Amino acid sequence: MYDLIVIGGGPAGLTATVYAIRKRLNVLLVSRDLGGKTNYRLALPWIDDYQVIRGLEVVNKFKSELEYLKFARLLETVERVERRPEGFAVLTREGKELLTKTVIIATGTRQKFLSVPGEKEFMMRGLCYSAISYAPLFIDRKTAVVGDGELALRSTAELATVAKHVHLIGVSKDTLSLPLGKKLKAASNVTILQDYRVVEVQGNSYAERLMVKAPDGHQAEIAADAMFIEMGLVPTSQMVQDLVELDEKGHIKIDCLSRTSVQGIFAAGDVTDIYAEQVLVAVGEGAKAALSAYDYLLLML
């Protein structure tokens, strides 16, 4: 029986695990990979790596610590978390049933893909999924955002503060009636292609243009220095969807002590309903969840 099982090896889960090891808890990290979304890095021809603020140094330190501490990690996929009289069982796709007194869910989100030719080829080479992380790098550049919803509006608005031009592609009339949508309609450096569809991403070493189709069927080419697919982020919370309370988008609801609606289950990072999907926020949330789980365990140890 473990004291704590952390599910998810991104910034939140890695930090939580390292904190728990330092508190000398009997802890296991179960994850598909180590590093999570920090393994994605946007490459651009005119950007040197050092100009990007990533918080990666902290995450990489924790990652290499866990690469070394083999006993504290298991690279498997978790299917479900179930209650047991003595705590919880973590069930993996590979058939393991791991018993634990407490759990931290740190499984992040997954981005929605365009699923068009060229997307995979140019992923992270001029085509990316987090304008909010990279917008300040686009001073006087031409950019494009694809998506319909608050994330697409926010990404366009942030890019428009520095970029020469932003094309917002695929947005609907309803989304444009939101306050930020109205503001973007009036912006001189934003072109809105309402209800257009992207059919292909093209380029050479990096993505250079999007082939789009208008509602009336005519095709056009949008050239950009970088393009952002902002169609939404889906929280990876299905393993506890029948156990803990989720918000309407599927984020796990937590309180200020990282506690979910079920005693003994904690959550951290992008999978939760906290503000801001960023590496350093996830690192802090992971530390907080580990300390909170430790406090809870002090009553039991």
Ligand X SMILES: Cc1cc2nc3c(=O)[nH]c(=O)nc-3n(C[C@H](O)[C@H](O)[C@H](O)COP(=O)(O)OP(=O)(O)OC[C@H]3O[C@@H](n4cnc5c(N)ncnc54)[C@H](O)[C@@H]3O)c2cc1C
Contact set with ligand X (CB under 6 A): 7-13, 30-33, 36-38, 40, 52, 54-55, 77-78, 106-108, 111, 128-130, 133, 236, 239, 269-270, 277-280, 282
Closest to 201 measured CA to CA, from 166, 228, 232, 167:
228
| Smallest separation (angstroms) from ligand X to the CB of 219 | 28
Residue among 99 and 300 whose Cβ is closer to ligand X: 99
| Smallest separation (angstroms) from ligand X to the CB of 2 | 15
Residue among 54 and 213 whose Cβ is closer to ligand X: 54
| Smallest separation (angstroms) from ligand X to the CB of 273 | 12
Residue 66: φ, ψ to 5°: -80, -25
Residue with tokens 């796709």: 93
| Smallest separation (angstroms) from ligand X to the CB of 252 | 11
Residue among 107 and 292 whose Cβ is closer to ligand X: 107
Structure tokens that stand for 72 in this block:
């504290």
- 116 SS3 class: coil
With beta carbons less than 8 A apart as the criterion, state whether 40 and 110 touch: no
Residue among 36 and 170 whose Cβ is closer to ligand X: 36
Residue among 29 and 168 whose Cβ is closer to ligand X: 29
Residue with tokens 């309180």: 255
Strands 207-213 and 165-169: unpaired
- CA atoms of 57 and 153, how far apart (whole Å): 31
**What is the 3 state secondary structure string of 165-216?**
EEEEECCCHHHHCCHHHHHHHCCCCEEEECCCEEEEEEECCCEEEEEEECCC
| Smallest separation (angstroms) from ligand X to the CB of 148 | 18
| Smallest separation (angstroms) from ligand X to the CB of 289 | 10
| Smallest separation (angstroms) from ligand X to the CB of 76 | 7
Residue among 156 and 236 whose Cβ is closer to ligand X: 236
- CA atoms of 271 and 150, how far apart (whole Å): 18
Residue among 193 and 231 whose Cβ is closer to ligand X: 231
Residue among 14 and 192 whose Cβ is closer to ligand X: 14
| Smallest separation (angstroms) from ligand X to the CB of 209 | 20
Strands 165-169 and 142-146: parallel
CA atoms within 13 A on the CB side of 218: 3
Between 279-298 and 56-68, two packed helices, what is the crossing angle to 10 degrees? 50
